[in-house]
């Protein structure tokens, strides 16, 4: 149900853009107002969500330790997976964020007759996740050419590398291929693996469809329906310099692309996509494991009712004396 709903939701968004631009000629709305509003919402939304999390205290230091802790000097500590210093945490987080280290560990449990269980390493999710996120980032990075004049060298270099395998007239970017492949894989995985299908909600399919549609519209625009690149750049430069103009003659496909991106901007802070920011705040990953060496403070700590030794002795004094145990009061 979530799947069908999400599919039609994204289809509806595409339709909205087509009608808006083709039938109603609301180029200014779709080219300027919505993108501005969406971007603002994106920034403020993320900031709000992050602050909301950051406001919540971290009462206890609860890292998941994934290696030998710091103990006796002759025992080799795993300084990354079980960090006892901030540097260790930084490295741990960097590996987590940039290389998805925890996912790298992924295993698959298999049950055979016997019973016999075995656990094989499985890296598909890790590879696909990594491919998806990295190409997404690189494509985004590439888009800066639309917002910067002159185009900075790193972007030029990246594009040259990306289009290394020149296919056809407009350079075919490898990132585009990998990106669409990864989105498709992540989607198919959700549909094909029974357990993953079982846990999937509309909010899992929707962003996949949306991001897939953004990628597809981008590719179509670039390789199939030629758009007026000069016009697009005029528009994007206008947006970034706060002097928006809407040049005539930019194809509808561009507006579809832009509208879907705007939708993603709006959807982002409201959804699980916030994992991008959330991962940095995860207390099982971003805390040092030096609980016994340093005092951690719980800001809302409060005194609790306890059972004191004196009360205990009152309950058991005679029995203690009979057993020859020392007591405070005779």
Partner 1 sequence: MANPKPEELAKIDLAPPKTGWMETPTVFRKGMFCYGNKAKSLETVGFPNPRQWSVSEEDWHLPENWQEIFIEGLRERVSKYRSFRLFLDICVRCGACADKCHYFIGSGDAKNMPVLRAELLRSVYRKYCTSSGKMLGKIAGARELTVDVLKEIWYYAYQCSECRRCSLFCPYGIDTAEITILARELLNLLGLNIDWIAGPVANCWLTGNHLGLQPHTIKDAFDMFIDDVETISGIRVNPSFNRKGAEILFVIPSGSMFADPGTFTAMGEILLFHELGLDYTFSTFASEGGDFGFFTSNEMAKRLHSKIYDEAKRLKVKWILGGECGHMWRVWHQYHNTWYGPVDFLEEPVSPITGTKFENAKSNKTIHICEFTADLIKHGKLNLDPGRNDNLIVTYHDSCNTSRGMGLLEEPRYILKSVCNNFHEMPENTIREQTFCCGSGSGLNASENMELRLRGGLPRANAVKHVAKKYGVNMLACVCAIDRAALPPLMDYWVPGVRVTGLHEMVANALICKGEKKRTTNMRGEPLPGMEGEE
Q: Which residues in the 53-112 window bind partner 1 by CB under 8 A?
A: 53-54, 56-62, 64-72, 74-76, 78, 81-82, 84, 96, 100, 102-103, 105-109, 111
Beta carbon of residue 280, minimum distance to partner 1 (angstroms, whole number): 10
Our CB check for partner 1 shows the closer of 25 and 122 to be 122
3-state secondary structure 39-98: HHHHHHHHHHHHHHHHHCCCCCCCCCCCCCCCCCCCCCCCCCCCCCCHHHHHHHHHHHHH
Q: Which of 212, 222, 207, 209 is nearest to 253 (CA)?
A: 222
Please report, for residues 124, 183, 196, the alpha-carbon distance to residue 199 in angstroms, rounded to integers and kept in the order given: 19, 18, 5
Segment contacting partner 1 by CB under 8 A, of 29-37, 234-242, 251-259, 313-321: 313-321
Q: Which of 35, 7, 109, 5 is nearest to 257 (CA)?
A: 35
Give the C-alpha separation, 125 to 158, whole Å.
Answer: 26
Q: Which of residues 226-265 bind partner 1 (CB under 8 A)?
A: none
Among 23, 150, 242, 307, binds partner 1 (CB under 8 A): 307
- Kind plus residue range of the DSSP H or E element containing 110: strand 107-112
Our CB check for partner 1 shows the closer of 132 and 173 to be 132
Locate 187 and state its tokens.
Answer: 């989607």
* Residues ≥6 apart with Cβ < 8 Å to 16: 259
Segment contacting partner 1 by CB under 8 A, of 150-158, 169-177, 240-248, 279-287: 279-287
> Within its chain, how far is the Cα of 66 from the centroid?
22
Q: Which of residues 174-193 bind partner 1 (CB under 8 A)?
A: 193
Our CB check for partner 1 shows the closer of 242 and 309 to be 309
202 contributes a contact to partner 1 by CB under 8 A = yes
Beta carbon of residue 264, minimum distance to partner 1 (angstroms, whole number): 15
Among 142, 203, 219, 240, binds partner 1 (CB under 8 A): 203
Among 199, 243, 248, 249, binds partner 1 (CB under 8 A): 199
């Amino acid at each position: 149900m979530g799947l069908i709903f999400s599919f039609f939701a994204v289809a509806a968004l595409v339709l909205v853009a087509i009608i808006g631009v083709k039938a109603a000629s609301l180029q200014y709305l779709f080219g300027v107002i919505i993108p501005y509003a969406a971007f603002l919402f994106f920034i403020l939304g993320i900031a709000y969500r992050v602050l909301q999390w950051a406001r919540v205290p971290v009462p206890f230091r609860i890292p998941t330790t994934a290696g030998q802790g710091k103990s006796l000097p002759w025992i080799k500590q795993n300084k990354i997976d079980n960090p006892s210093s901030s540097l260790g945490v930084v490295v741990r987080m960097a590996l987590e964020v940039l290389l998805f280290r925890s996912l790298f560990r992924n295993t698959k449990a298999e049950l055979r007759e016997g019973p016999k269980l075995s656990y094989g390493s499985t890296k598909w999710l890790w590879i696909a996740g990594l491919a998806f996120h990295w190409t997404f980032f690189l494509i985004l990075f590439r888009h800066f050419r639309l917002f910067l004049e002159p185009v900075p060298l790193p972007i030029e270099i990246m594009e040259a590398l990306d289009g290394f395998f020149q296919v056809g007239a407009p350079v075919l970017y490898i990132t585009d291929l990998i990106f669409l492949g990864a989105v498709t894989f992540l989607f198919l995985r959700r549909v094909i693996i029974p357990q993953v299908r079982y846990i999937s909600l509309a909010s899992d399919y929707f962003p996949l469809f949306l991001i897939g549609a953004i990628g597809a519209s981008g590719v179509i625009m670039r390789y199939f329906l030629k758009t007026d690149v000069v016009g697009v750049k005029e528009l994007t430069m206008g947006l970034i310099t706060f002097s928006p103009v809407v040049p005539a003659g930019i194809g509808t496909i561009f507006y579809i692309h832009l509208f879907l991106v705007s939708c993603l901007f709006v959807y982002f802070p409201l959804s699980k996509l916030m994992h991008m920011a959330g991962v940095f705040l995860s207390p099982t990953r971003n805390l040092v494991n030096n609980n016994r060496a340093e005092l951690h403070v719980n800001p809302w700590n409060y005194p609790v009712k306890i059972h004191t030794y004196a009360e205990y002795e009152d309950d058991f004094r005679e029995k203690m004396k009979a057993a020859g145990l020392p007591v405070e009061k005779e």
